[in-house]
Structure 1
Amino acid sequence: LRLWSIKTKTPHSHLTSLLKHLRTHPCHDSLPRCARTLLQTPRESTAVVEMGAGKYCHFGLTSGLRYSLQNAHHIPDTLSLIFNIDGLPLTRSTRGQFWPILCRVANCGKGKPFFVGVFYGMAKPRDADVFLQPFVTDLQDVLLSGLEIKDQLVRVRVAAIVCDAPARAYILSVKSHSGFYSCTKCDVKGEHRDGRVCFPVVTGEGRTNDSFRDLLQRQHHVGQTILTELPIDMIDCIPLDYMHLVCLGVVRKLLHLWFS
């Protein structure tokens, strides 16, 4: 009955009414009286806090991981996590937008992404460090202490933090993709051609985790990101965005040149 109500998206009022009718029969007198009890709806609501010009709701990384893995048949000794941070508009008629922080377990079945936290406002969070603080605190804890699931203590590692170019520059506190020193993989300086910044010849040296954390190329950074508090590789763990660079970037441009 619980699965049926979830799959059919039955309103709570209708489900409660159905339960009352079913309970009149002796065979079903053990059923709960209301939909909230049947669906085991949490009594405590997740706190929504003011954050700059918007609101933020933090669901938690640990609880999300435990819920995501509750039906897993085998849990590996080390969980590899993939995170995604990006903004998305809600409607075309307003400027309201969500900035969710999503997580997915990459090496345990076909785990679905779940929310770690979400920001709502008329623009992106003004201060990226304030926005990321609850997420970083949660992640620091599981990276340091591990996670106990089904009486098993498992280690946790960050496989990747996936973002498109604007979101990546935002969370890393570096120059946006239209800047001369915007490349997150090497320290090459771009050139301004035909109204855009491009990198015709790659002559720079590859960035390293140490060089990023030490802000060796000051022109690349606009600040010190809170993500450096995590024990991760700031270059390897934050990859380039394949969808926008290749599928919707180079390939789209080639198709336009070939067929237009």
Structure 2
Amino acid sequence: MQGQKKADVHLTFTMNTDGVSLFTSSKKGRLTVTTSNGSVVLVRAKLMLVSVDLPARALVLNMKQFNGKYGCSICLDEGESPAGQPMLRFYPYKDTSTPRTHQSMLTDARKVVMEGGTVSNCVASRGIKGINPLMMIQYLDIPKATVVDWMHNVLLGVTKALLTFWINSKYKDRDFFLLVTRYFNCFIFFKLKKKPFGNV
């Protein structure tokens, strides 16, 4: 790595991997790792997915947060607010929802830039407030690459809530309740009512 100039860093990714020594990056993103036998290996990395919580997702994608109009990074729905609670926004499932695409994000970002959008004047086009660093990665399809935040949605949030609704006996009279029985070492789920899940 001798003779290389230190590049300006605009976006920093932190690696938390045991056994990887500190490294310097070049404009080509070179990373060398010294193995246990002393040989030096050049490692090439490619960003495949982005998994962040919702507030961080809004920052990374330079878009409105989950509680703002068009704050969903997956669809182009405006969302709804309960009466008298403008800071609360939810995105109910609709068969007519238009998915947000990589191209639509680029188009909205260009529109904001052309209109002179800045952080201070809060111009946004369908939730997009301007360009973001991920748009510079040509192979990355941003809506598909920003995946569900595993910790909050699966371990702490949505999955826990769904399981509670499905199997807690206090919901036994509701359409979504599932009867759980144990058969040897297996749990078997039964739908008590014949109503489809889509109507819940």
Q: TM-score, normalised by structure 2?
A: 0.52
Counterpart among 130, 133, 144 of residue 236 in structure 1? 144
Secondary structure at the aligned position of 2:64 is classed as coil
Indicate the residue corresponding to 2:28 in structure 1: 141
Counterpart among 65, 89, 92 of residue 200 in structure 1? 92
Indicate the residue corresponding to 1:167 in structure 2: 56
Cα deviation, 1:163-222, whole Å, max 9, x if unaligned, reads 100011111110101112111112122111364311222332222222222227812112
Secondary structure at the aligned position of 2:143 is classed as coil
Is the contact made by 2:76 and 2:126 (CA closer than 8 Å) also made in structure 1? no
Q: Does 1:227 align with 2:120?
A: no
Q: Deviation at 1:250?
A: 1.9
Identity %: 26
Equivalent AA in structure 2 for residue 206 of structure 1: P
Cα deviation, 1:104-138, whole Å, max 9, x if unaligned, reads 5xxxxxx449899xxxxxxxxxxxxxxxxxxxxx5
Q: Does 1:249 align with 2:157?
A: yes
Equivalent AA in structure 2 for residue 236 of structure 1: K
Per mean C-alpha deviation after superposition, the further-off stretch among 222-231 and 168-177 is: 222-231
Equivalent AA in structure 1 for residue 157 of structure 2: G
Tell me the distance in 1 between the aligned counterparts of 2:64 and 2:45: 30
Equivalent AA in structure 1 for residue 156 of structure 2: L
Distance 1:139 1:170, change over 3 A: farther
Q: Which runs of 5+ in 1 are unaligned?
A: 1-57, 62-100, 105-110, 117-137
Tell me the distance in 2 between the aligned counterparts of 1:218 and 1:113: 44
Distance 1:113 1:255, change over 3 A: farther
Is the contact made by 1:175 and 1:182 (CA closer than 8 Å) also made in structure 2? yes
Tell me the distance in 2 between the aligned counterparts of 1:113 and 1:164: 27
Tell me the distance in 1 between the aligned counterparts of 2:101 and 2:76: 10
Secondary structure at the aligned position of 1:193 is classed as coil
Per mean C-alpha deviation after superposition, the further-off stretch among 221-230 and 180-189 is: 221-230
Indicate the residue corresponding to 1:4 in structure 2: none
Indicate the residue corresponding to 1:211 in structure 2: 104
Secondary structure at the aligned position of 1:222 is classed as coil
Secondary structure at the aligned position of 2:157 is classed as helix
Matches of residues 100-115 of structure 1 in structure 2 within 5 Å?
101-104=13-16, 111-112=17-18
Tell me the distance in 2 between the aligned counterparts of 1:180 and 1:162: 22
Tell me the distance in 1 between the aligned counterparts of 2:48 and 2:129: 25
Is the contact made by 1:140 and 1:230 (CA closer than 8 Å) also made in structure 2? no
Equivalent AA in structure 2 for residue 245 of structure 1: N
Greater fraction of residues in helix: 1
The Cα RMSD (Å) is 3.6
Secondary structure at the aligned position of 2:145 is classed as coil
Equivalent AA in structure 2 for residue 198 of structure 1: F
